[in-house]
Amino acid sequence: MANKKSDIIKIEDRVAKVLEILIKKSPNLVTRKELIEKVWQNYGGADDALNQAISNLRKLLNDDDKNNREIETVVKKGYRYKATIEQYDLKQNNKGKSKGLTTIILLIILSIIILFTIIVLSENTSIAPVAPK
């Protein structure tokens, strides 16, 4: 369940596996038989365990609207994950951050070069004192 100190949610391995299968097969129906075979390897109490796993997932997903469920129950057949799935591309996001950081670093280097050039030129350009006439 959710930890108040962070956004990390702990999910039992089998519950997570059910969610993974539903998402991978979305928007197609996943039969109860398929879930029981893949997650519980036909364990004797798997039918009740599957019901509990779906219930836990609905709680985690705040899926409490019976008319508009993210996890749809197809009576006596199985389940379908209906929510929209968006994939977050960590590599793409990091490219944008990296490009911004590179630009900042280049601007700092350019500023240092300009400042150094101004200092060197001002030291080399000396105004000779003019002798009074």
| CB-count exposure of residue 131 (10 Å: 0-12, 13-18, 19+) | exposed
pLDDT of residue 64: 78
Nearest in space to 69 (alpha carbons), one of 77, 60, 78, 58: 58
30-31 β-sheet, strand order: 30-31, 78-81, 71-74
DSSP string, 62-93: T---TTS-SEEEETTTEEEE-S------HHHH
Residue range 108-114: average pLDDT?
A: 86
- The band of 125, judged by pLDDT with boundaries at 50, 70 and 90, is low
pLDDT at 18: 92
- CATH architecture, domain defined by 13-81: Orthogonal Bundle (1.10)
Cα 26 from Cα 133, distance rounded (Å): 96
* Residue among 106, 50, 101, 48 nearest 79 (CA): 50
Residue 20 has pLDDT above 50, yes or no: yes
Distances (CA, A) of 120 to 96, 106, 125, 126: 36, 21, 9, 11
Residue 3 has pLDDT above 50, yes or no: no
**pLDDT at residue 38, rounded to an integer:** 93
Domain boundaries, the chain: 13-81, 88-124
Choice between 37 and 4, residue whose per-residue pLDDT is larger: 37
Which tens digit of pLDDT belongs to each residue from 50-65? Answer: 999 999 999 888 887 7
Task: Write down the pTM of the prediction.
Answer: 0.58
DSSP state of 44: T
